[in-house]
Amino acid sequence: MNAPQRKIIHVDCDCFYAAIEMRDDPSLRDVPLAVGGRPETRGVVATCNYIARRYGVHSAMSSARALRLCPELVILPPDMARYRLASQQIMAIYQRYTDVIEPLSLDEAYLDVTGQPHEQGSATLMAEAIRRQIRDEVGITASAGIAPNKFLAKVASDWNKPDGQFLIRPRDVDAFVVTLPVEKIHGVGRVTAERLHRLGIHSCGDLRRWSPADLFRHFGSFGERLLALSQGRDERPVSTDRSRKTISVEETYAQDLPDLANCLSKLPELADRLQARLARSGSPEFKGLSVKLKFDDFSQTTVEQPGYALSMAAFGQLLRTGYARGARPVRLLGVGVKLADDFDLPRQLRLFGRD
């Protein structure tokens, strides 16, 4: 007997932090507003309202640049306690419809409502009810996407923002995906999009014309994933496992690190902080090491490799690889580990083993 067609809802609150601020202070509703760090401390915009977006302001932009684009911009520091309280209220609303919930952040989650009896079993009506209850009980708006898998549900939730929703029915998947820009594919960032464009690939329809072997040659194992998503296929289940996957530390520097040597000089301090954080977390076992870099143009990259002990030599090599991808001043560095599941690793954790 075939399993029933999945019904996935992706819910994403509209400019969440800014929405909470506008809810609690109505005088902010008609002004360009951002939540983030101050420009004099090299702060970054966490989110902004839609008025600010008309000026070109967006999340992850430096606050200094945001103010240049919109001199009237009001920038507020984040109030995480209030945001977490609102998130808890939203989570309670989700739980009225399903127990199969995968939170992605405080304001965003996947819901698998397959087989649920609410709203006559209609995922579209459930999404409408969830959005209505968020508006009535939390005082902010949310958008939703409804589709047979996670990839398409996430794309759909962005289709009618703000305060809207979009349905992709199973029979409409192929026609919808074929014209979808590659930038909409999960995991395709600016650098990968540029590589695809150089190969003449701009849409999912373009991707479909490539063979798996050719995509593998250019993109490694990610090429197989690209091809599947370009065909609208995504078998990932909505995961309720909220166990921690990584532990990391990072630092945004007051002045950009101008070259590789300066970046390497910061590694010992970051590694010491990571070691201390691991110890505070009970010295969990891990199976991988990673280094993250954010360059002065706000592009970023992460490099990973297997590893069971903190190794300065390994971190240094990862940093060299990551730096070569941008070869420009660096504003943020981070180091981290990928935690091991019980079946991954029988050995005991070693901190800074022999290189």
Helix (H, G, I), strand (E, B) or coil at 59: coil
Helix (H, G, I), strand (E, B) or coil at 104: strand
Q: Give the whole-angstrom CA distance, residue 177 versus residue 229.
A: 9
308 with 345: CB under 8 angstroms? yes
Could you tell me the sign of the dihedral formed by the alpha carbons of 147, 151, 153, 159, in that order?
Answer: negative
Could you tell me the sign of the dihedral formed by the alpha carbons of 263, 269, 271, 273, in that order?
Answer: negative
| Among 2, 63, 11, 7, CA closest to 35 | 63
Q: Give the whole-angstrom CA distance, residue 298 versus residue 4.
A: 43
| Residue 96 phi, psi (nearest 5) | -70, -20
* The 45-48 sheet, strands edge to edge: 45-48, 33-36, 74-76
Of 21, 102, 108, 285, the catalytic one is 108
Question: Does residue 183 carry a catalytic annotation?
Answer: no
Q: Give the whole-angstrom CA distance, residue 335 versus residue 291.
A: 5
| Among 220, 224, 218, 214, CA closest to 195 | 218
Catalytic residue numbers read 108
